[in-house]
Structure 1
């Protein structure tokens, strides 16, 4: 029995390749976040920075790092499993920007960071 495969859709050449597939921005962001967070934690542990709340650390590991990895996986896997399109281009960039906003706003305003984090999770 022969199986006819549909050609893969060609990526929009006008769009930044980073935002063509869901895993790209989120795996990159998770890796960068982990790369920055570990030295900051080491500086806190050494006493060079004020100690943060351990609950905040747990929050960021779950809702910051883990959500970025899970979002990247699901934006790619759901497309493969169901054949339905997932966010790409500007929509994917907006979702990634919400994740970045939630991380960046935390030192300035926990309430603003919370709103951005909730918008990302939805």
Structure 2
């Protein structure tokens, strides 16, 4: 009975981040992709980094390292890069996403507490 109770919470959480991501896409500023995310982290512009769960381990560890140096929150998206691209409203795969300005969304305040 306990596993059945956990499943709606996971789905609700996934819907929650997807709605926040769509709000960022409409009202905020963001960069998509590995190279652009690294550039935003090095320049100190990134406020939150979202990584798909099928990102290659070397890329994932490099992004996490740069985020640690920049004191930026990292959220591991509970879906692959196709699902992350769909959540962003794009028709292509998105492995990494960096939010530079959240706009009307509260994604930056809510995500680091969930990842920690």
Q: Same fold (TM over 0.5)?
A: no
What TM-score do the two structures reach when normalised by structure 1? 0.29
Structure with the higher helix share, 1 or 2: 1
What TM-score do the two structures reach when normalised by structure 2? 0.30
Structure with the higher strand share, 1 or 2: 2
